[in-house]
Amino acid sequence: MNAATHNTSSATEQPAAAELLALLEQVADPEIPVISISELGILRGVEVDQETVVVTITPTYSGCPAMHEISNEIKTVLHHAGIQKVQVKLQLSPSWTTQWMSESGKRKLREYGIAPPLDKGQAEQGHVQCPQCGSIETEKISEFGSTACKALYRCQACREPFDYFKCL
């Protein structure tokens, strides 16, 4: 993550990049409220450019409908911290990948009932583990689950349906 601080002389004292990153840990993904945008890996950088805090985010896919809400929440959190000038930049390249997701984020997905992403080969071989009972005896029901970045699976052991966060 690029957390560079470029604070040119200004009358207003801006928080350091580390403080800004800590504030942004409060911003959850609206579709998966147990995981922060940092844990999800879509928070790509924070910079201070004169009096403006510039936050760069990358969507999980280019048509992600949550980006507008995430941008608004970033501004709200920073405004509540006393930062008035905030710009949110959408960065499409490089494309987001599940490799940017933190281990704590993957753990939180599992605890929430969503199977975290696996290596593509593991998922194709049917080794998606049920987040409810832990079985790998699962089957894909649909390529798309509750959102486009998830597939719908069913566990053959406990018979429960669950979302699998696709490996990208």
Q: Is residue 27 predicted with pLDDT exceeding 80?
A: yes
Let me know if residue 105 belongs to a domain: no
Domain CATH for 74: 3.30.300.130
End-to-end distance of the chain based on CA atoms, in angstroms? 18
Q: Is residue 8 predicted with pLDDT exceeding 50?
A: no
Q: What percent of the chain has pLDDT over 90?
A: 71
Mean pLDDT of 89-116: 95
Q: pTM here?
A: 0.83
Which H or E element spans position 150?
A: strand 150-155
Q: Is the same domain home to 81 and 132?
A: no
Q: Is residue 122 predicted with pLDDT exceeding 80?
A: no
The total domain count for the chain is 2
- Expressed as residue numbers, the domain containing 140 is 113-165
Distance CA 161, CA 163 (A): 7
Q: Is residue 20 predicted with pLDDT exceeding 90?
A: yes
Let me know if residue 137 belongs to a domain: yes
Q: Is the same domain home to 119 and 62?
A: no
Whether residue 160 contacts residue 133, with contact meaning beta carbons closer than 8 Å, is answered with yes
